[in-house]
Amino acid sequence: MTGLDFDVAHLLAGMLVLISFLELYQDRLYALLNVFALHALVLALSVAWQAFIQDAPHLYVTAALALVFKAVIIPVALHRIIVRLGIHREIENVVGVGPAMLTGMALVALSMVVMLRVTQEADPLAREDLAFALSVILLGLLMMVTRRNAVSQVVGFMSLENGLVLAATGAKGMPLVVEISVAFSILIAFIVIGIFLFRIRERFDTVDLQALDRFRGERR
Amino acid sequence: MAVIADFAVQGIEMLLVLLLAPLLTGFVRKVKARLLRRQGPPVIQPYRDLIRLMRKEVVLAESASWLFRVVPYLIFAATWVAASLVPTFRTGLLFSWSADLIAIIALLGSARFFLALAGMDVGTSFGGIGSSREVMIASLAEPAMMMIVFTLALIAGSTQLSTMAEFMASPAVGLRVSLALALLALIMVAIAENGRIPIDNPATHLELTMVHEAMVLEYSGRHLALIELSASLKLVLYVSLIACLFMPWGLKPADAGMPDLAFGVAAYIGKLALGAFLLAVFESSIAKMRVFRVPEFLGAALMLGLLATLLRFVSRSF
Amino acid sequence: MTLWITLSCTAILLLVAVFAVAAGREAAATYVVYGLCALAALTSLLATLQHLLGLAPPAIVTLPLGIPWLGAHFRLDALSAFFLAVVDLGAVTASIFAMGYGRHEEAPLRVLPFFPAFLVGMSLVVLADDAFTFLLSWEFMSLTSWALVMSHHRLQENIRAGYIYLVMASFGTLMLLLAFGLLAGPEGHYTFAQIRAAHPTAGLAALVLILALTGAGSKAGLVPLHVWLPLAHPAAPSHVSALMSGVMTKIAVYGFVRIVFDLAGEPAWWWSMVVLAVGGFTAVMGVLYALMQHDLKRLLAYHTVENIGIIFIGLGLALAFKTYGMATASALALTAGLLHVFNHSVFKSLLFFGAGAVLTATGERDMEHLGGLIHRMPQTAFVFLVGCAAISALPPLNGFVSEWLTFQAILLSPQLPAWGLKLLVPTVGALLALSAALAAACFVKAFGVTFLGRARTSAVQCATEIDRFSLAAMYFFAALCLVAGVLPGLFIDALAPISDALVGASMPSQIGTQWLSIVPIMASRSSYDGLLVFLFMVLSGTFSAFAIHRLASDRLRRAPAWDCGYPDASPATQYTAGSFAQPIRRVFGTVVFRAREHVDMPAPGSMQPARLVVDLRDLIWDALYVPIALAVGYAADRLNRLQFLTIRQFLSLVFAALVILLLVLAIWP
């Protein structure tokens, strides 16, 4: 593997982390969806690059799946859901953008150190890719934690899954079956969440998850 | 003899930067106007403005002190010295070792410090608004810039701008994640430092959201000319900085011959034009931010810079 | 020889203190006392400089004072010579300043005797070479400075300041007492030479580090032990504030360096992390606190906290490099920290002098009542501006050099092998950059609101320039800011013996470099030349001024301010200190201080003005000190019952205690 292959793979993975930060930074739903589409696009590029340098044609399928489902279908569908439901377009954060980004920084640092320390003997590319993937996963989780709106939680979940895909493709020799099953499970999860969104909305007249907490009788 | 030639080239470089600065500003304005389907003022309009301002008498507010009259010269001196320390068309400037990138940033910080003081000198409410917002922006932009400097210095193994530019031009660099993060953060900081949209609007003169213009509201005549010239110089400085670090192609070593240097100058002017064009397109396509969205924007730049630095600390291959 | 000279200077200062008690009421006493102080400190400074220039070897003297079998040991080596020079330099200038400033003192007897005694205390701490003398001098320094803080004791806030200072100073001394107790070991090796020879175990050394950090840190003002500092420093007369902020905090730094780098043995891997984290936190918190202040002297005092943080960042880096055997990098970081010690003592004293001048001229410390002083006090304004620029780390002044060196040290640290440091150092670097930028904002505010704009009160309009002694002292320090900024190589070379002694290496000599530039590691890596930058700025500034005035126009006309066509005659419409800080308060204060703003709108028909109220909470005070105070109060209430016992009951308590102690002794294995 030459230095350039190495660097491009790194760069794409790093961009994925960067876009995760961008998602954290957004305060409009539509902009968030656009950024998420970009996230998926970069993921597709990254996977395709892995397919190219690992000579693994089945990864191209994964890339295509990511491109079609995550970069096109899901954002468009979410977009339509927002229009249909008339969801308030500003995202309500539990914590401000600044603290959320700071926490994100800490998480990235943590995942770097954990990954690089744990996998001392592994192939350097895989190590650093894994570190990035873990960061993407943690950032997705962080986004789900810090957002009140159900749609942005969905986006957080999806970008978390992107991190999983990145981790999986970075490691050589993952069978295609796993990829496809993961992709389908995500799709199903999306459908289920979408249906839930409609049901929540019908029942409570909002998709703000605080409303649900109120009905469970939990104190905020 | 060689020393005299070196001095001459250094002098030419300083003059080139100074002479190009208003042209760049005029070019940005022209492109913006054309993008909005307006004719726009001619590209050389800033020169005419400067000459006219220089010739006019200064109208000084009654409550202005000596500091108010000294500050334009101070700002101009600091900005010009800083701008002439950035490699433009060749590396290995004669005095490049007298101040590294950290010192260049600090020189710009000095200019800003005194400009903010001048904003408060007359004792008007607009001046205070401008100064207080400017220091708020600076309090985030400067650390962000510092983090960018850290990243670049860790990659190049030096804070010396000439050495850094030479390293960036060599094939040893490769594509680096930290480099990409630093570039993005640098662009964000450059936009904020130069008071461009979406942070500040350089074309406004009566608006509650103005920052830079609010500080210089009381200036007139030659003082205003110097401040405008310093602002243009700062724009050139940042474009040259981005160009010499991230687009080092065409940058000639110190001992290059005449034809090479001519090519270097042409490449440099091309890079400036490209930067100005991209800036104009960006400015035309985006709306100004609320003032209290600015800290988030710059905070993001700071985070990116810190992330890039962290990556460099953790592993050398990032 | 030099040590004898410095010791006799301290003895003379003690005599001056006695003299001041006797003659303090005389009108001329101010001149005589401060003049003698200046002379004694100057003599001591000249003697010390020989050590700094490497002309005299370390000297040791033992005097038959103190504990009979121990005696009082004194030693003048490179480290103590440097700090003694800082003390003496501050003392000379403060004395000269006070020859003018001190005449306005209402109760000179409350200041004159304690001032020389305070100088004695600080000098002896630095010279002490055994634990007993060190602690005794330390406590003497604390008590005399406490007396000076209490010199205006009728003000309610000064009483509170003095009380808190006394409590915190006792706490600090207790911590140092325990640290030295551990270092001395069961055999009671009290001299530093014996302590150095004994190697404490790792656990013991760790305890010593923590105790030294809290003990010296509470004196230096490390967050969260800083609470007394912004109360006590402003309460003292301004020349004493300058000494307390500029010099006494440095004595605390000396204590820390002496214990941790010299006495406590090899550092463990986590020591530097603790020091770095505390330093970074202190730097940012200090400047944020300072930004929220509108009392000029308190702002300066909080800013001392920030600079102490910067110094500890340098020391922490030095410790980190020392731990992993990177001697040259360690020397760079240590030099950066120590150079900042010197620089800060210069510009912080200068700024406190300026604040004192403003206080004398207007009777005001509150910036909201000042403004426009540059017209009334142009010279004070000029030197204060130099101080502001220097402390904001603007080139080509001296504050920039030490921060630049610290940044260079940070850039060397990716080679450190420890993972924790890999994460911590860049973060600390970001905190350092943030605090530097915020410091500039803070001093734009301090200078802009105090000296610029229009006068806010009539007190300002009648202000006059301060006397010549005070101006001379301020000009001297302002000049020193510039000299240390453009010729930093001289100062760096003077610090070389210290880093040689403490970390086993020193920075390359800066004397022979091209154009007097400074080169920390090698020229291709980084260099900075304050002299050239200064010359370039002067040349291009005068060139442009000359060209424009000759070729274009030099006409000038005065007119009312333009202000976008809304001229307003009232100076009350200017930006105040509070409004200037508002954007930064919004950005940082909402989290750090729980800052909340609300408008008190009067009822319709009421003639009251509407007011914007800002609530700031000091979370450190609330979280750390309030519970302690409550606990102490509770315990005191409980123990109060002991006061009402009869004599028989008291005696039985004492008897029981004695019997229990004897029992313990009897059954101790």
The C residues from 552 to 591 touching A (CB cutoff 8 Å) are 587, 591
Residue C246: closest CA among C335, C140, C119, C153 = C119
Q: Are strands B58-61 and C556-559 parallel, antiparallel or unpaired?
A: parallel
Contacting residues of C for A113, CB less than 8 Å apart = 419, 422-423
Q: Which residue has the tokens 């999306």?
A: A190
How many angstroms away from the CA of B277 is the closest CA of chain C? Answer: 30
Residue B249, Cβ neighbours under 10 Å: how many? 9
- Evaluated on CA atoms C621, C625, C627, C630, the torsion sign reads negative
Confidence of residue A220 (pLDDT cuts 50, 70, 90): very low
Smallest CA–CA distance from B298 into chain A, residue: A98
pLDDT at A122: 66
For residue A39, count CB atoms less than 10 angstroms from its CB and return exposed for 0-12, middle for 13-18, buried for 19 or more: buried
pLDDT of A219 > 60? The answer is: no
Q: What is the domain count for chain B?
A: 1
Q: Helix or strand or coil: residue C597?
A: strand
Q: How confident is the model at residue A193 (pLDDT cuts 50, 70, 90)?
A: confident
Cβ of A99 within 8 Å of Cβ of C591? The answer is yes
Helix axes A57-65, A176-204, angle to 10 degrees: 10
Shortest Cα distance, chain B CAs vs residue C541, angstroms: 5
Q: What is the mean pLDDT of each run of 10 residues along chain B (318 residues)?
A: 75 88 95 93 94 93 93 95 88 78 94 95 90 94 95 91 87 82 94 90 77 91 94 95 89 79 89 95 90 87 91 79
Report whether the peptide linkage leading into residue C396 is cis, meaning its omega lies within 30 degrees of zero: yes
Q: Do A15 and B180 touch (CB under 8 A)?
A: yes
Report CB contact under 8 Å: A113, C591. Answer: no
Q: Does A171 have pLDDT greater than 70?
A: no
> Which pTM value belongs to this model?
0.92
Q: What are phi and psi of B247, to 5 degrees?
A: -130, 65
A207 has pLDDT over 70: no
- pLDDT band at A82, cuts 50/70/90? confident
Residue ranges of chain C with pLDDT lower than 50? none
Nearest chain C residue (CA) to B130: C580
- Per DSSP, C563 falls in state G
pLDDT score at A59: 80
Instruction: Report the alpha-carbon distance of residue A149 to residue A28 in Å, rounded.
Output: 11
Q: Could you tell me how many helices (H) and strands (E) chain C has, helices first?
A: 27, 5
Q: Which residue of B has its CA nearest to C413?
A: B313
Nearest to C222 by CA among C318, C289, C308: C308
User: In this complex, is the C-beta atom of A150 within 8 Å of any C-beta atom belonging to chain B?
Assistant: no
Q: Which residues of B touch A97 (CB under 8 A)?
A: 296, 299
Looking at beta carbons, which residues of chain A come within 8 Å of C428?
none
Which residues from B are below 8 Å from A3, CB to CB?
Answer: 174
C280 sits in the region (left: phi over 0; alpha: psi -120 to 50; else beta) called alpha
As a dihedral over the C-alpha atoms of residue A107, residue A111, residue A114, residue A118, rounded to 10 degrees, the angle is 170
Which chain B residues have a beta carbon less than 8 Å from that of C422?
A: 313-314
**ipTM of this complex:** 0.95
Q: Chain A to chain C, count of Cβ pairs less than 8 Å apart?
A: 8
Which amino acid is located at C513 in the chain? Answer: T
pLDDT tens column, C558-581: 998 888 887 777 888 888 999 999
Cβ contacts of B253 within 8 Å, gap of 6 or more: B90, B91, B92, B166
Tell me which chain A residues have a C-beta less than 8 angstroms from the C-beta of B181: 14, 18
A95 in contact with B at a CB cutoff of 8 Å?
no
Could you say which residues from 172 to 191 on chain B have a Cβ atom under 8 Å away from some Cβ of chain A?
174-178, 180-181, 184
User: Which residue's structure tokens are 């954060």?
Assistant: A93
Taking the domains of chain A in order of start, what are their residue ranges? 3-216
Which residues are CB-neighbours of C394 under 8 A, at least 6 positions away? B106, B109, B110, B113, C400, C440
- The torsion region of residue B280 among left (phi > 0), alpha (psi -120 to 50) and beta comes to alpha
Mean pLDDT of A38-50: 90
Range of the domain at B159: 2-314
Higher-confidence position of A58 and A122: A58
How many angstroms separate the CA atoms of B31 and C400, rounded? 40
CB contact (8 A) between residue B98 and residue C532:
yes
For residue A195, name the pLDDT band (cuts at 50, 70, 90): low
State the residue for tokens 């750390």.
C624
Q: How far apart are CA A213 and CA C36, in angstroms?
A: 75
Q: How far apart are CA A136 and CA A153, in angstroms?
A: 15
Provide the token pair at B87. 């490699």
Residue among A121, A125, A130 at smallest CA distance from A54: A125
pLDDT band for position A206 (cuts 50, 70, 90): low
In angstroms, rounded to a whole number, what is the distance separating the alpha carbons of residues A151 and A29?
A: 8
